[in-house]
Structure 1
Amino acid sequence: QVLGEFGDPGMATDIALHNFGIPHEWPEGVEAEATAFGDQVTDGMKQGRKDLRDLPLVTIDGADARDFDDAVFARRQRKGWRLVVAIADVSSYVRPGLALDVEAQERATSVYFPNRVVPMLPEALSNGLCSLKPAEDRLCLACDMTVDEQGKVTRSRFVAAVMHSQARLTYDQVWKHLQGEALPFQDERPGVTESLNDLYALYQVLRKARRQRGAIDFESQEVTFLFNEEGTVTDLAPTQRNDAHKLIEECMILANVEAARFLRESKLPVPFRVHAPPPVLKLESLTEFLRIHGLRPGWSETPTPRDFDRIVAQVRGREDEKLIMAVLLRSQSLAAYRPDNGGHFGLALDAYTHFTSPIRRYPDLLVHRAIHHLIRRGERQDFPYDEAQMDRLCEACSHRSRRAEEAERDVHERLKCLYLAQHIGMSFTGMVSGVTSFGLFVELDHGAISGLVHVTSLPNDYYHFDPVRHRLQGERSGRSYQLADRMTVRVRDVNVTERKIDFEPISG
C-alpha cells in the first residue's frame, strides 16, 4: 500500500496507524449512535442524580485539550479538606451491546500523536456531550472525599451527579494564579479562586504524603514538537510541567485509589492497574550500573519503591541525571490491567485502578460500570461481566495500551529524524547514552534525539568493548568512551525509513 512520501505532513502518523494496525475509521453506525444523544443533557438523564451544579468545579488541562474528563473542587474544613473529583459519566451513554461500545473496546484507548488524536469515542461524545465543557450541564460520576491534615482520606463516597463546570482553565493559567497573577474572571467567580487556593494547599499535603510512603518521583522527559502551518516539524522543546500539572495528578491518584478500595471490597470482576516490582534479572544489571556511577542501591534482595525514590533524589541536578533516570525507568516492570489486584509498586500503593479518564481509556469505562452497579445496589448476577470475560478484557486493554505507546514512540522517532534531516552537517552537544561493540549512542541535549557514532567514526584505533563498565577503549591510544561522557557530534546521515541517525564526533 502506497501511503505517500516520507516527508509529507502527517505521513509519520499515517505510517504508524498502518504498521501498528490502529483502528482510525468509524465502522457504520458508530457515529450515528453518538450523535443520536444530541448535544445537551436531557432532563430525563438528570433525574435521580445528586445536583453539584452550584459547586465551583473547574477543569484544568493543557491549552490544546478538547476532551475534558475531569473536574475538581476543594474546600478547607476544620480538620482537613473536602475534595470532589468529578469524572465525565461516559458509561451512561456508552452501554454494553451498542456499536459504540464494541468499537471503544476494539480501540481500548485514544492515541495521542503530536499533530493528531485518534479518539476512542466519536467526537460527538469525546469533545461534545461527555466532555465537561464550561457553562454546560454534564453528567458525571463524582468521588466526594474528606482528606485529613496528613493527606489521608478519612471518608469517601461515589455519586452519580449532574455538574456545571464554572471554568475551563489551563495548567499555565492556574500556575500563574498560584504565583499571584489574577484570573481573568476572578471578581465574578470568587468560589473558583478560593477552591484553587484550597486545592494547592491540599496538594502540598498530598505531595508530602506521597514522599512519606516512598512513591517513586520520576520526572517527565517528554518532548513537545513544534510545527509550521504546512505541518512540518520546525523545532523540539522539553515539555514543561509545573505544580498545576502535579496538583491534578495527585487529585486523580487519590480518586483512583478510592475507586480501587471501593471495588476491592465489592468482589466484582474489575480491572485493577497493577505494577509489579522490577524483575530480578533487570535488578542485577541495574545494581552494577548504579555502582559504576557512584550510587549505592539501598536494597539487599528485594527493593522497595522508597529505595528507588532515594536514588532519584540523589541524582537530581547531576549532569548524568537524564541517563540514570532513563535506566531506572527501563528497569521497571510494565504496568498492566489485571482482574486480580496486585498493588502498584511505582506509586507505593496496595491497590490501584484507573477511574479518571473514561473518555480516552476503556478500563476506566469498565470501572465506572462497576461503580454504577454498586451505588445502584445491583445484584451480582446482573453485572455484565464474569471473571473470565474480565480477564480477557484486561489482557486486550493491556495489549492495546502498549500498542498505542509503541505507535506514539514510532511517530516521535520519525519526526525527530525528519527534523534532523533538515540539519545534516550541523553540530550538536549530547551525552553518551549507550555503548556497544559497534559504537556509541549519543542523545542530543536538543530534543532528546538519539543517534549512533559508529566505531569506525572514532579516532583511528582498535577499540575493546567492556560490557560491565559500558566502555570502549582504544588499544594503542588508551582513549576511552563510556556512558555519560559529553560529546559534540555532527549530523552525518539520517534514514527516515529505518528511523536511524548517524553522527560523527567533533570532540569529547
Structure 2
Amino acid sequence: MSAKRINTRKHTKRKHAKVPGETPSREDILAFVADNPGRAGKREIARHFGIIGGARIHLKKMLKDLSEEGLIEKRNKRMIRPGDLPPVFVANLIGRDSDGDLLGVPVDWDEDAGDPPRILVLTGKTKATQPGVGDRALIRLTEAEAGPEASHVARVIKVLEKKQGAVLGIFRKRDGDRLPYLEPIDRKQRELDVDPSDLKEADDGDLVSVQVTRSGRFGNPRASIIERFGSMNSEKAVSEIALQSHGIPHVFPAAVEVQAEEAKPVETLGKREDWRRIPLITIDPPDAKDHDDAVFAEPDDSPENHGGQIVYVAIADVAYYVTPGSPMDREANIRGNSVYFPDRVIPMLPERISNQLCSLRELEDKPALGVRMVFDKTGRKISHTFHRVLMRSAAKLSYHQAQKAIDGLPDDKTGTLLEGVLQPIWDAYAVVKKGRDAREPLELDLPERKIKLKDDGTVDHVFVPERLDAHKLIEEFMIQANVAAAETLEKKKSPLLYRVHDASTPEKLESLKDFLSTLNMKLPSSGGLRPSVFNGILAKVKDSPQANLVNEVVLRSQAQAEYTPQNIGHFGLNLRRYAHFTSPIRRYADLIVHRGLISALGLGKDGLPEGIESKLEAIGAEISAAERRAMLAERDTIDRLIALWMSDQIGATFQGRIAGVVKSGMFIRLQDTGADGFVPASTIGLDYYRYDEGSHALIGDKTGETYQLGDQVEVKLVEAAPFAGALTFELLSHGRIAGKKIRKTAPKVRRGPPKGGRSKTSTRKTSRRRSK
C-alpha cells in the first residue's frame, strides 16, 4: 500500500452544539450522524445533545423530516447518511487498483441506493491468510483516506471464502482424434481442452470439475479432470453447480472429521436433570435425519393458573460436543448454517454429530437443553425456566402422520400416543395460538414449491405442500422458546446475538402506497406501522384474484432479517426481543445462544468464551451473509432442476400469474408447478410497452393495454436454459384496458405507422402470439 494513500493521523471528530435540553440544529444532527455511521440512533442522539422530556418530541419530528428529505436513512434503528456503510460487513473482493491493492464492494447492498461503493481493502502481513480477487471477506471500516479509486477504506477481519481453483463445466467429446473439451458453467470462462489420460469415466454431457494444468498461450488451456459428478440431469450435478458458484464450503477439513469421530456419546446422567420420563416427541418432515427439537405439553394443575398450559421444548445439546475454538467450531462458524437441496444436505456439522450424537433419535438417550414454559389461558407466557437434561424421544413422527392422528386417522404408532401425548400437545397449541393471534404477527400467504425426485435424481414432479396445523404448532412452540432464550440472556446481561427484523424503509413504504392506490387501497400516511396494518390489507384481498399479487408486493416491501448484538426487535413476528435457540445442529447463531445460556445459568463449563462480546458484531455479519448465500444456492438449484425438467416441453402451453414486472419484461410463475420464467417486453404484441413502477405494470403507449403484477395469463414455453435455470415464455393472453380484461377471442390488430413516419413498433420484434 502506498504511504501517500493513507492518512495515519487520528481522525478529529467535529464539535457539535451541545446545550442540555436544547434541540440541536439540523446541521448538528447531520454532523453527528456522519461521525458515527451505524451507531447513531435516536437514543444516542438525545443522550449526546442532552435532550430530555418534551424536547424529544421535536427531535423525533426533526429526524423524520431529515429522513423524508433523503438526508439520512434509518437502518436497524440507527441513522446513517445515504450511501454510508455499517462499521463491519461482508464484502466481495472484485479487483485491484492501480497500485495493486484490493478493491471490494459490500455483499448486502440495496440497489435502490445506486451503484455499490468501492472499498479499498487493506490486508495483514501473514501470507497464509492473504485474501485475493474473487474472495469474500469480513471487513471493518477505518478512518484512513481512500484515494481516487475508492470511497472507503477497510481492513480485513477474516477471509470467509477463497476463490476455488477448480473449474466446473460440462465434459464434451469430439469426433476423431481431437481432444475432448470442457464447456464451463461460467460463460465468461474459455473452453478448456481436457487431458484424455484420466477421464474419471466421464461421459459426454457429464458435469465435472477440472484443474488447469497449462495456460492457453498457443491454443486452448489444458486441464485435468479432478472429479466427475454424473449426468447434468441429476440433482447432485445441479446442486454441485450451486455450491461452486456461490462458494459454499462442503468438504470438511481432516481435523474436523477426526474431532467428530473421537466424540463420545453421553451415557450417564451426571449433573443433568432427568427428563427421560417426559414423553417428548419429534415432529419433522418424513425424510429428516437430524432432529433438533422435541416437544410435549400438559395442562397446568396450579389453582392459580386455571386453563393454563405447560409446554416442554428440548433442543439438542450441540454445545456439549462443539466447544469454542475447536476445529468443528471454526468450521461451523465459516459455514454459518446447513444448506438444503432437494435430495441432499450440506451440513454445518459432520454427520456423526448432526445425524448421530446430537440428533434426538427415537428411544435413544440424548443430551439436551430444555425449556419449560407456562402459559395462562389467554396464551400469554407467564414464566419459563431452562434446564440441561438427558431426554429420550418417545416417538419420531412426520407432520402428516401427527396431523392425521389428530384428524381421526391414527396409524399403529400414533394410535398409542393420541390420548396421552398428541392430544395434550394440540390442546396446548390451541391456548398458545390465542397469544399469537393477540400479538398479530405478519401473516403472509406465499406457498413454497417443493421438488419430488425420482430414484435417479431427476425431477418427478413439482408441488406446493399443504400447510398443516402440525407445522404451525411446532413453529409457534419454537418461537416461544426463542423468546424465552432472549429474555433470559437479557435479564442475565449476557452477550447475545439477536435475530432482528427491521421495519420497512420509507422508500419501500412509499412504493407500496403507490401500488395499493392502483387497487383503491390505502396505507396509513402517519403513525408507526405495525404488522396488523399489513394483515388488514391482506385480509381484504383474501380469496380474491389479487390475493397472490398483494402478498408478493407486501413481502417485497419488508426488510431482511439478520443477526446482530444490537436489539431492534423483530417486526415480522411483532416481538420486542427474539433470538434463535431451537436449531443448533444447523445454525451457528443458535449455538452461540446455547453457550450464552450455559454460562449465564451456570449449567457447565462449555459456555461462551472470554472476549466474545467484541466479536459478536463480526460473527453476526458473517453468518447473516452465509444465510443469504445458502438461500440463493437453494433457489438456484430449484430453478435449474425445473428448467431441466421442462426442457423437453418446448411449445407446451401453461397457465400462470405475473410474478414480477421490470422494464425489460415480466416474470411468470406457472400455476401448477410454481416454476418461474420470463417474457421479454419486446415480444409482447405490436405496441410499445412502458414500465409503470407504482402499479408494477407494463402499459401499451397507444392502446393502454396493461399487464400488471398478479394478472393471470397463458404462456407458451419457447426456450429452456438449464445451466442458467432460466425459462423463456411467449405470452398468449391479452392484457386489460381501462381496468377490464380484453376478450381472449378478440383478434390482435397490427397498428399501422403514424402519418409522416415509421412507427416505433415497426422495428421491434413482433409477437407470434396466437389469437384464441
TM superposition score normalised by structure 1: 0.94
Residue 53 of structure 1 contacts residue 162 of structure 1 at CA under 8 Å; is this kept in 2? yes
Does the residue aligned with 2:581 lie in a helix, a strand or coil?
Answer: coil
Q: How does 1:24-39 map to 2 (within 5 A)?
A: 24-38=250-264
Q: Which amino acid aligns with 2:423?
A: N
How far does the alpha carbon of each residue in 1:40-61 deviate from its partner, in whole angstroms, 9 at most, with x for none?
A: 4222xx2011100011100000
Does the residue aligned with 1:452 lie in a helix, a strand or coil?
Answer: strand
Identity between Structure 1 and Structure 2 (%): 38
Q: Which amino acid aligns with 1:87?
A: I
> C-alpha displacement at 1:324, in angstroms?
1.6
The equivalent residue for 2:294 is 71
Q: How does 1:38-437 map to 2 (within 5 A)?
A: 38=264, 40-43=265-268, 46-78=269-301, 79=306, 80-185=308-413, 189-190=416-417, 193-298=419-524, 300-376=526-602, 383-437=609-663
List gaps (5 residues or longer) in structure 1: none
How far does the alpha carbon of each residue in 1:97-118 deviate from its partner, in whole angstroms, 9 at most, with x for none?
A: 2111111111110000112100
Residue 274 of structure 1 contacts residue 335 of structure 1 at CA under 8 Å; is this kept in 2? yes
Q: Which amino acid aligns with 2:394?
A: Q
> C-alpha displacement at 1:66, in angstroms?
0.6
Does the residue aligned with 1:359 lie in a helix, a strand or coil?
Answer: coil
Q: Select between 129-138 and 289-298 the one with higher mean Cα deviation.
A: 289-298
Does the residue aligned with 2:254 lie in a helix, a strand or coil?
Answer: coil
Q: Higher relative CO (CA 8 A, sep ≥ 6), structure 1 or 2? A: 1
> C-alpha displacement at 1:3, in angstroms?
4.0
Distance in structure 2 (CA, Å) of the matches to 1:435 and 1:219: 20
How far does the alpha carbon of each residue in 1:113-144 deviate from its partner, in whole angstroms, 9 at most, with x for none?
A: 11210000111110101000011000000001
> C-alpha displacement at 1:383, in angstroms?
4.3
How far does the alpha carbon of each residue in 1:303-334 deviate from its partner, in whole angstroms, 9 at most, with x for none?
A: 11111122222222122322221211111111
How far does the alpha carbon of each residue in 1:167-211 deviate from its partner, in whole angstroms, 9 at most, with x for none?
A: 001100111011112242356x55x64232122122122222212
Larger radius of gyration: 2
Q: Which amino acid aligns with 2:278?
A: L
Residue 658 of structure 2 contacts residue 669 of structure 2 at CA under 8 Å; is this kept in 1? yes
Does the residue aligned with 1:56 lie in a helix, a strand or coil?
Answer: coil
Count of aligned pairs: 503
Q: Select between 287-296 and 135-144 the one with higher mean Cα deviation.
A: 287-296
Q: Select between 338-347 and 66-75 the one with higher mean Cα deviation.
A: 338-347
> C-alpha displacement at 1:19, in angstroms?
1.0
> C-alpha displacement at 1:377, in angstroms?
7.0
Distance in structure 1 (CA, Å) of the matches to 2:612 and 2:168: 44
Does the residue aligned with 1:141 lie in a helix, a strand or coil?
Answer: strand
1:484 pairs with one of 710, 734, 751: 710
What's the C-alpha RMSD, in Å, of the aligned pairs? 2.1
Change (3 A) 1:290 1:478: closer
Residue 592 of structure 2 contacts residue 608 of structure 2 at CA under 8 Å; is this kept in 1? no
Distance in structure 1 (CA, Å) of the matches to 2:420 and 2:457: 41
Distance in structure 1 (CA, Å) of the matches to 2:368 and 2:446: 30
> C-alpha displacement at 1:476, in angstroms?
4.5
Distance in structure 1 (CA, Å) of the matches to 2:704 and 2:595: 65
Distance in structure 1 (CA, Å) of the matches to 2:731 and 2:603: 67
Residue 3 of structure 1 contacts residue 14 of structure 1 at CA under 8 Å; is this kept in 2? no
How far does the alpha carbon of each residue in 1:59-100 deviate from its partner, in whole angstroms, 9 at most, with x for none?
A: 000000010000001001242111110000000111012111
Q: Name whichever structure is richer in helix by fraction.
A: 1
Change (3 A) 1:151 1:385: farther
Distance in structure 2 (CA, Å) of the matches to 1:382 and 1:177: 42
Distance in structure 1 (CA, Å) of the matches to 2:700 and 2:534: 35
Q: Select between 29-38 and 101-110 the one with higher mean Cα deviation.
A: 29-38
Residue 186 of structure 1 contacts residue 193 of structure 1 at CA under 8 Å; is this kept in 2? no
Change (3 A) 1:53 1:300: same
Does the residue aligned with 1:8 lie in a helix, a strand or coil?
Answer: coil
Distance in structure 2 (CA, Å) of the matches to 1:13 and 1:296: 43
Residue 16 of structure 1 contacts residue 411 of structure 1 at CA under 8 Å; is this kept in 2? yes
